[in-house]
Amino acid sequence: MEKKILIFTDLDGTLLDYHTYSFKPALSALKELKKRKIPLIICTSKTRAEIEIYQKKLENHHPFISENGGAIFLPEDYLKKTSLGLKKCECIKRKDGYKVKELGTPYNILREKLFEITEKFSQKVKGFGDMSVKEIKKNYGLNSKEATLAKKREYDEPFYFVTSPDEDTLKRIQEKFYKIGLNMVKGGRLFHLTGGNDKGKATKILKKMYEKEWETKIKSIGLGDSLNDLPMLSEVDFPVLVKLHNGRYEEKIIKKLNPFLAKGIGAKGWNEAIIKILERIDEDEK
């Protein structure tokens, strides 16, 4: 019986180049995944609207996880056996051709709590909800359409500190958010405020859905580059840490896990890691 494999991947700085958002260096590995019919699950801080663009560019028709685990989106006709068990499940919504498993806190509540908590520490922050499309386009290398889609947030608020809190203050702010059921995590470019959801919880749920559908245990590979990827990497069999755009690794992840360290930066490292791990799985199966 052929071993069933799942790939979970971050986008920015991982499958996509940090500066150009290109996945061209990963084309050979992507081609191999399609050849083997291995599902590629995008798991990112990006919005559903943003992910849909990359789903089309990648010709990828598998489920995806948006906004740091805020929701799992499954195409309506996907995982048919599992769907039978979801029909009566109140936690599954039908929306725009998807079955949606929502895990996150509504965006308006996140915005309210973001300012409420940071002001208690005399800190000033600015989130995507405060930025114009022009500002997002200028600061984060997106075009007008991409910047517009990035503002269509449902479960996650990216933000930065206008002030410069020290590490101790950041820790205390994180703890305060945690006490009210929210998470503040550091991504590749910005901080993110989410509900009790994270990439790991969503990854775990989706893995179970596939195991039920396929009626077998699976081998899972996860690829990321920054701290908000740690929960996802903790839930897979083969965690892969891709180099940051500065050529370094996120040391805090190395201390927590024993990940496969991709030699290249971004998509180049992604490509190399996928090929090597697939070869390792093939050897183990012989």
Distance CA 247, CA 249 (A): 7
The strand pairing partners of 85, in sequence order, are none
Q: Name the residue type at position 131.
A: M
Angle, vertex CA 222, rays to CA 199 and CA 194, nearest 5: 15
Cα–Cα distances in angstroms (integers) from residue 142 to residues 2, 22, 49, 136, 264, in the given order: 41, 12, 14, 7, 24
- Give, as one character, the DSSP assignment of residue 121: T
- Residues in Cβ contact with 2 at an 8 Å cutoff, skipping those fewer than 6 apart: none
Instruction: Give yes or no: 229 in active site.
Output: no
3-state DSSP assignment of residue 269? helix
DSSP 54-101: HHHHHT--S-EEETTTTEEEEETTSSHHHHHHHTT-TTEEEETTEEEE
Single out the catalytic residue among 10, 12, 225, 229.
10
Distance CA 100, CA 57 (A): 22
- Residues in Cβ contact with 29 at an 8 Å cutoff, skipping those fewer than 6 apart: 270, 271, 272, 274, 275
Q: Which positions are annotated as active-site residues?
A: 10
